[in-house]
Structure 1
Amino acid sequence: MNVRLSFVATFFIISCLFLSMLLIIPMINYNIEATTEDSCDVHLYDNFDSPYFLGEGQTSPNGEWKNVYSGYGSTGVEVIDGKSVFYLKPNASSTPYDTHTHAALVKSTDKFCDFEMEFDINTVKQLRKNSPPNVWEVGWIDFRYVDKFHHYSLLFKPNGIELGKKDCDSCSDPVDGQQFHETKSTPKMNLNTWNHIKVDMVDNHIKVFINGNLEVDYIDTEMSPEMASGSVAMYSEDAYVLYNNMDVSPK
């Protein structure tokens, strides 16, 4: 009697465990898939309200930004005219561009797929010494940033607008792989002036608004799958640049 009861009880327990596993395993798989699908649904907003220094390789106190490189200069949040802003200030180059340049790049720790991004930007000063500055030595915004050879770039320059990308698996030199998608001679950027930028990206369709006006409407017909998602990145090449009110939301 006791033996039979023990056998029945054991069989019942094993059956329950087996059924539980059948129920739990699909739930585990579902959660993993949901996490992957939702990985681009993050919302980033940062008005950089507290000053800090962000050294090379460091992550910001709020965990939102990582300094990839500083160009022998500095990055972080500083207070200017009573307002806290994010700054990029690589060391000033003192030789011509073909022999020397300094750049700083800080990227978001989150990645985005389809998104709407708005921010304010001010290229305060071009820093090159002993030779004229180049028109691209301003503040950039990179998006769908995967690495130095896979990202889109938007530049608002003294001679107009430039939308480009790097999407190159075979490149080894950082200067290689640049593609120019669209350039415009107007509007022109004035130094030490705040401008409001908005970038909408859905799949391979990019829209750029500057100070409320649609300036670029471009479809990238040659976008590789690797460029389907990535970080946003603040980038400066030989320029002192300020950013504020960074707002990136999924679409």
Structure 2
Amino acid sequence: MSVSAAVLVVALTAGGLFLTRDAARAWEDGEERGQFRSVYHGYGTVTGDDAEIILHPKSAEDLSVTHGGLVVTRETFDEATFGVVVTTEQQVRKDPPNPWEVGWVLWNHTDDDHFYAVALKPNGWEISKQDPAYPGKQRYLATGDEPTFPIGESRRVEVTQDNGEMTVSVDGKVLASVIDRETPYRSGSIGFYTEDALVRFNDLHIAPGNN
């Protein structure tokens, strides 16, 4: 085996996990790897593999500018029940950051105008629906000032769906349950989004029988 081949693959046989140098290579927009597809990188980088996704968009230098990164599952699901660990490691805007510039977890995503999302912010949280029928294409389904989610802390977000009712939990505690009675989205991809923040997503688990 050549030196380059020897360093390319590291086998962690105890856990059955294989890490490759490919995980550290930045993804191109539209590139597919394993269960994920990179939609856009926000003029920065998307790196990772099936075990972990890291989104690091370019730092915005003006208040009127924002840079977002998005990765979605290649597979679509019907009312998926799933969980993922989210860590907003750093807000990267050069000016003082906005509180929503964190990692977002998306579900029932079909395009940039149709999905649900939860954002854990340093000043609270929000569950929203992206819907072009509303001003700004966004409708808030539930929001709160407590609990707060400081930058740098890892949180496990879990989403359950049952016949139109969506429940979002964080670290095992229910944040909110909502029902969308206006043109609900019942299927789509799971997505990881960032807006002007370095965010790490890992340990995605999807309940069987959702696709």
TM-score interval for Structure 1 and Structure 2 normalised by the shorter chain: 0.7 to 0.9
**4+ aligned runs moved over 2 Å, structure 1:** 47-53
**Aligned CA distance change for structure 1 residues 165 and 49 (closer, same or farther; 3 Å):** farther
Which piece of structure 1 moves more, 48-57 or 139-148? 48-57
**Aligned CA distance change for structure 1 residues 222 and 112 (closer, same or farther; 3 Å):** same
**Aligned CA distance change for structure 1 residues 87 and 221 (closer, same or farther; 3 Å):** same
Which residue does the alignment assign to 2:160? 200
**Aligned CA distance change for structure 1 residues 158 and 116 (closer, same or farther; 3 Å):** same
Highest Rg: 1 or 2?
A: 1
Once the two structures are superposed, the pairs formed by residues 20-35 of structure 1 within 5 Å of their partners are: none
- 1:156 is displaced (CA, Å) by 0.5
Contact 2:87 2:155 survives alignment (8 Å): yes
Amino acid at match of 1:75: V
Amino acid at match of 1:247: H
Contact 1:48 1:245 survives alignment (8 Å): no
Q: 2:105 aligns with which of 141, 148, 165?
A: 141
Amino acid at match of 1:106: V
- 1:49 is displaced (CA, Å) by 4.9
- 1:213 is displaced (CA, Å) by 0.5
Once the two structures are superposed, the pairs formed by residues 20-169 of structure 1 within 5 Å of their partners are: 49-50=19-20, 51-53=23-25, 54-60=27-33, 62=34, 64-77=35-48, 85-96=52-63, 99-129=64-94, 131-168=95-132
- 1:239 is displaced (CA, Å) by 0.1
- 1:52 is displaced (CA, Å) by 3.9
Distance 1:52 1:231 in 2: 24
- 1:100 is displaced (CA, Å) by 0.5
Identity between Structure 1 and Structure 2 (%): 29
Deviations 1:25-59 (A, max 9, x none): xxxxxxxxxxxxxxxxxxxxxx9954243221111
- 1:222 is displaced (CA, Å) by 1.1
Q: Which runs of 5+ in 2 are unaligned?
A: 1-16
Decide which structure has greater helix share.
1
Q: Which runs of 5+ in 1 are unaligned?
A: 1-46, 79-83
Which residue does the alignment assign to 2:11? none
Contact 1:103 1:238 survives alignment (8 Å): yes
CA RMSD of aligned residues (A): 2.0
Decide which structure has greater strand share.
2
Count of matched residue pairs: 189
Q: State TM-score, norm by structure 1.
A: 0.71
- 1:219 is displaced (CA, Å) by 1.1
